[in-house]
Amino acid sequence: MTLPTNDDTLPQGDEKVAAVRTMFDTIAPRYDLVNRIMTFRMDVGWRQRAVSQLGLVPGSVVADLACGTGDFCFELERKAMVPIGFDLSFGMLAAAPRNFGRAQADALALPLADGSLDGVTCGFALRNFVELDGFFSELARVVRPGGRISLLDVAQPPNPLLKFGHGLYFGKVVPFVGGVLSDKSAYRYLPKSVAYLPEPEQIVDMLRAAGFGDAHRTLLSMGISQLFTGTRNRPDDSAPSNPVANPNS
């Protein structure tokens, strides 16, 4: 599957699934290196913040979706949780620097029982899913009542000057660095793929409608990254949401 050039429209549906899988299979060998360089290692801190915001106790079972080479899973392990990684790209799973529990799967149709997870993390993948409504519904299916989600993605800074500078960096520097170190077409496509993301307020509304009634958005690093968190609704809507949850409840 060929990724779009500067003048092509972004792929949709099954074409998008094939394009995303092929792209990540291609860039997997140097994906972690390029991420660290392009974010000046800020991505490490963002993942730490996302795991902290889960508020789950040690022993909690947490799925990382679009897990890639395992960065989120390793952070979850460091916090004494039990991670399970799922990714559409076998190339990304195979490029993991060390072993962890993982499987190839579509995040819109996870091989998990209803309510089997205490939490879910996901990093920089919302724009890669074919259907966000379907993805959020799948999260609501597999996360138990009272469980938590923590979803990272890119954002645009609210400050006009920072927004301009970030636009130049993300639109020009990232494709150049990615092209030198990895695959040129993939890193031209990644900045353009942000167009798939709905407005932040719409994402929060979608999460709440899916069953995460307290869904909330937090900007990180002056707005170049964003974190969506939420608690799975309990059967009794009047029951208080507790972000520090018992994995055995």
Over residues 99-150, the pLDDT tens digits come to: 999 999 999 999 999 999 999 999 999 999 999 999 999 999 999 999 999 9
Task: Place 191 in a pLDDT band, splitting at 50, 70 and 90.
Answer: confident
- Amino acid identity at 16: K
- Just give the CATH number of 13-231: 3.40.50.150
Mean model confidence pLDDT for the chain: 90
Three-class SS of residue 116? coil
Q: Provide the strand spans (E) within 102-201.
A: 102-104, 117-123, 143-154
Domain boundaries, the chain: 13-231
* C-alpha distances out from residue 91 to 33, 99, 203, Å: 15, 14, 29
CA nearest to 128, candidates 152, 148, 147, 103: 152
Distance of alpha carbon 83 from alpha carbon 132, whole angstroms? 23
Q: Tens digits of per-residue pLDDT, 33-60?
A: 998 998 998 999 999 999 999 999 999 9
pTM over 0.85: yes
pLDDT one-digit tens code per residue, 55-107:
999 999 999 999 999 999 999 999 999 999 999 999 999 999 999 999 999 99
- Please compute the mean of the pLDDT values over residues 221-239 and round it to a whole number: 88
